[in-house]
Structure formats: structure tokens, C-alpha cells
Amino acid sequence: MTRRWVAAAGLAAGVLVSATPAAAQHRTFGVRAGVSAEPEQFFFGGHVETKPVLDRLTFKPSAELGIGNDVTLLALNVEFAYQIPIEDQPFKLYIGGGPAANIYSVDGPGSSDGGVRGGFNFFVGVQHNKGLFLELKVGAVDSPSLKFMIGYVLK
């Protein structure tokens, strides 16, 4: 079981690094951690964000590994974010969403709820120009119902 999760985490890291379009020469990387509801977990992960592909719209794929509540969840998110600058402030707001592949592993005897499930996420966040951000993510279908995270964009 552990080998499978190490392989999946390696695959997720590879997807994050290679998923940005060839035309996007500038990209930033970020780290994130937080808590989720349904399943109730602690999670951590990372993301890549491209320069705008359209006016303020960026491609922002991420991977998050959740642990707790007898479930391990690897969420591979293919998301887009729309930046909303706040005039004369060091912060910007952003909103976005996109589909997710959620790889569940349920611990315990007789557990058969594991496997890959599709989902969709919607999020809103605020980010400081120096990199610190807070984000609230709402999931639909088979994504966690709610995630609250804090993170930092490495510049």
C-alpha cells in the first residue's frame, strides 16, 4: 500500500511540473496545508501557477495529500484561477475552479470504498504580494466538501 502512495505522489509531482503549457515560460510554485471536511483530514500539497493565459486567468494545477479519519486521499486538481487586484493594496483576491481526480484509500478490514473518483472544486482566496495566501475550497461530486488552507507562493 505504501509503495502505491509513494508512486502516486511522484506521479502528482511530475504532473505539476510538466502540466504547464509550453507557451507559459513564467510559472510560480506554491506549497499549501490545511484541513478538510467530509472526509475530516489534515492535508498538504503544492501547486504550479502559470502566467495569465487570458486577461487575468491563470492555469493552477495542484496536488494535495490528505490523511486522517481512516482515509488517505490524493487529490489531483486541474484548476484555473481568475485574479482580482485590489487597488492600492498589497493583496489580490482570486476565484476559480476546475475538475479533480480523487484517489481514495480507506483503511480497515473489509474496506471497499477506495478507488479513483471524479470531482469538481470551486475556490476563493486572498494572496499577499509577498506570497502568503489563504484559500477556501468547496467540493462537488466526490471531492471533499470543504477545505481551508494556508500556503506560500515561492518566488
Q: Which amino acid is at 10?
A: G
Q: Is residue 128 part of a domain?
A: yes
Task: Select from 13, 15, 35, 5 the least CA-distant residue to 144.
Answer: 35
Cα–Cα distances (Å) from 130 to 79, 90, 92, 109, in that order, read 22, 8, 11, 47
Query: What pLDDT does 45 receive?
Result: 98
- The residue range of the domain holding 133 is 2-18+28-154
Q: Is residue 45 part of a domain?
A: yes
Q: Is residue 12 part of a domain?
A: yes
Query: What pLDDT does 26 receive?
Result: 77
Task: Select from 69, 72, 99 the least CA-distant residue to 9.
Answer: 72
CATH number of the domain within which 115 lies: 2.40.160.20
Q: Is residue 23 part of a domain?
A: no
Q: Is residue 112 part of a domain?
A: yes
What's the domain count of the chain? Answer: 1
- pTM tops 0.75: yes
H-assigned helices in the chain: 2-18
Query: What pLDDT does 17 receive?
Result: 46
CB 78 within 8 A of CB 99: yes
Exposed e or buried b for every residue in 114-142, given b needs 16+ CB within 10 A? eeeeebbbebbbbbeeeeebebebebeee
Per-residue pLDDT of the chain (155 residues; tens, 9 = 90+): 444 544 454 455 455 444 444 444 578 999 999 999 999 999 999 999 999 999 999 999 999 999 999 999 999 999 999 999 999 999 999 999 999 999 999 887 666 678 999 999 999 999 999 999 999 999 999 999 999 999 999 97
Query: What pLDDT does 64 receive?
Result: 98
Task: Select from 71, 7, 6, 11 the least CA-distant residue to 36.
Answer: 71
Query: What pLDDT does 72 receive?
Result: 95
Cα–Cα distances (Å) from 64 to 40, 47, 96, 102, 125, in that order, read 14, 9, 17, 10, 17
SS3 14: helix
C-alpha cell of 46? 503544492
